[in-house]
Amino acid sequence: MSDASLSARALETLLGAWRGAASEGTAGEPVYRALGERIRLLAIDGRIPVGTRLPAERDLADRLALSRTTVTAAYRRLREQALLTSVRGSGSVVRLPGAPAVPSVGGEPATIDFSKAAPPALPWLAEVAREAVDDLPAQLAGHGFDPVGLPALREAIADRYTARGLPTSPDEIMVTIGAQHAIALLSRALIGRGDRALIEAPTYPHAYEALRAAGARLVPVAVSPHDDQFGASDEAEALTRAIRHANPVAAYLMPDFQNPTGRTMSEATRERVLDAAARQGTVVIADETIAELDIDRGFAPRPLAAYGPAVLVGSTGKTVWGGIRIGWIRAEKPLLRRVLAVRPPGDLGTPILEQLIITRMLGRMDDVLALRRAQLRAGRDRLERLLADAFPDWHVPHVDGGIVTWVGLGAPVSSQLALAARTHGLVVAAGPRFGIDGAFERFLRLPFCQPADEMDAAVRALRLAWDSMPGMPAVESGLASEVV
């Protein structure tokens, strides 16, 4: 739980364009309700961490040019929804809300979670897990605390890199508890309080949270959607300029099927960025969690470290299953020793049985990827058809890999839509979740790795949510008869 406090100025930035149709003294939505609903979304979305103390009512009222009565009413509404608790001497503290209960057809509460872009488990995972249990007795003589990784698993990961065009030895691999754990460990090992760290904008939110937790000052660089006219040379120039001017200690990048935009860096951009980073002494952390989920990209770039100095982060969360928490770091041995030194305060090693499962699974990785690519192709094409039918005015990039698409809504209503969707049983992350300071209200990240029936239900829920929002243009589409 967080023990942080949020200033009125910081909360104003997070709120963004929250008022919508509401204004004091008009017939629109009451201002206190609009304010409370936006704070509610920020808490549910994780942009205001649980345990955070909100600004005093008077301070927030002064900052937002509202009456104190309005802010008091908004806070009271949040308390009634169990999103705030009043602690003597601590003010109003954010609580963890329960998931909304939405009646399903059968009367039971039902929620479709599109906030997590991760496919279901592989159909043969249970079989492989049973086989891995047979490998367990050979490990039981030891203490079981493994901060580096089983030799067989590190060798299998190294062999995978070598096969992709990056010669790698097992002693360049550290096994972690998923990719997020790897990013957090690298952040603690590389960053001191006040150091600058470059990130793409938008980007994977838990990565910039890990960098911030280590004390970094973030330097965002814009990344455009997959099919935008923003050229590779422009992207390379923006990244290299930021590296030269900001002189960041570290840079977190997703070169392949970037989350959430879906773009892939050109090979020329990879070389230019890594050259600029090497000149400045910037450590580039490349998140390759989705790198092998190619659908029809047409070319297969090597891992980023094949183009210059870079630290690689990977996992099997998007290929095998998120419930098997295995990730890794590929880096030079001196950096791995630094990472090993900061690891014990957080954990004492990666679970042995899960390592044994993934060791076996990596031997079948070609089959894994073939299945996932077929599933993702079908999912992408289905989602594109559904959205074109339901929302013909939205811009849906045709991505050529990965697991998500970064949809342009045509209006800064992403947070409003995400909040409305919850009342219709759909949990979806608003665009600002992937930026800092409230940016990306015109975008919505939608995964296409869920089962077809969930995808259909999610788009129907989005239509219901869109239609329920005041001031939204009416949508004429073939889906209308299904959702009205």
Residues 144 and 240 in one domain: yes
In this prediction, residue 2 carries a pLDDT of 46
The mean-pLDDT minimum among 268-272, 335-339, 381-385, 473-477 falls in 473-477
CA distance 256 to 286: 9
Residues 154 and 259 in one domain: yes
**Contact present, 407 and 262 (Cβ < 8 Å):** no
In this prediction, residue 362 carries a pLDDT of 97
Residues 354 and 381 in one domain: no
Element of type H or E holding 329:
strand 327-330
- Burial environment of residue 257 by CB neighbours within 10 A (0 to 12, 13 to 18, 19 or more): buried
- Domain-terminating residue out of 363, 384, 400: 363
Maximum CA pair distance of the chain?
73
- Domain-terminating residue out of 331, 363, 395: 363
Residues 258 and 309 in one domain: yes
Residue 293 has pLDDT above 70, yes or no: yes
What CATH number should be reported for the domain holding residue 144?
Answer: 3.40.640.10
What CATH number should be reported for the domain holding residue 401?
Answer: 3.90.1150.10
What's this model's pTM, rounded to 2 decimal places? Answer: 0.82
Residues 319 and 284 in one domain: yes
In this prediction, residue 220 carries a pLDDT of 94
The mean-pLDDT minimum among 18-22, 23-27, 93-97, 380-384 falls in 23-27
In a domain, 463, yes or no: yes
Residues 436 and 349 in one domain: no
Residues 138 and 52 in one domain: no
pLDDT tens figures, 243-281: 999 999 999 999 999 999 999 999 999 999 999 999 999
Q: What share of the chain is helix, strand, coil (3-state, %, to 5)?
A: 45, 15, 45
In a domain, 106, yes or no: no
In a domain, 100, yes or no: no
**Contact present, 301 and 264 (Cβ < 8 Å):** yes
In this prediction, residue 20 carries a pLDDT of 57
What CATH number should be reported for the domain holding residue 37?
Answer: 1.10.10.10
The single-letter DSSP state of residue 153 is H
414-443 average pLDDT score: 90
In this prediction, residue 439 carries a pLDDT of 83
**Contact present, 432 and 414 (Cβ < 8 Å):** yes
Element of type H or E holding 422:
helix 414-422
In a domain, 1, yes or no: no
In this prediction, residue 409 carries a pLDDT of 96
Domain count along the chain: 3
Collapsing DSSP states into helix, strand and coil, what is residue 311?
strand
Residues 166 and 256 in one domain: yes
In a domain, 428, yes or no: yes
Give the domain extent around 399.
112-117+367-483
Q: Label residue 75 by pLDDT band (50, 70, 90).
A: very high
Strands 91-94 and 173-176, by their bridges, are unpaired
In a domain, 99, yes or no: no
In this prediction, residue 110 carries a pLDDT of 53
In this prediction, residue 13 carries a pLDDT of 82
Residues 252 and 385 in one domain: no
In a domain, 3, yes or no: no
Residue 342 has pLDDT above 80, yes or no: yes
Q: Label residue 84 by pLDDT band (50, 70, 90).
A: confident
Label each residue of 295-336 as H, E or C.
CCCCCCCCCHHHCCCCEEEEECCCCCCCCCCCEEEECCHHHH
More confident residue, 198 or 97: 198
Strands 84-87 and 91-94, by their bridges, are antiparallel
Q: How far is CA 445 from the centre of its chain?
A: 9
Nearest alpha-carbon partner for 382 in 318, 456, 463, 444: 456
Residues 351 and 219 in one domain: yes
In this prediction, residue 107 carries a pLDDT of 41
Residues 340 and 247 in one domain: yes
Residues 140 and 152 in one domain: yes
Residue 24 has pLDDT above 90, yes or no: no
Amino acid, single-letter form, for residue 441: E
Please report, in angstroms and rounded to a whole number, the separation of the first and last CA atoms in the chain.
41
In a domain, 105, yes or no: no
Beta-bridge mates of residue 85: 93
- Domain-terminating residue out of 363, 397, 414: 363
Residue 1 has pLDDT above 50, yes or no: no
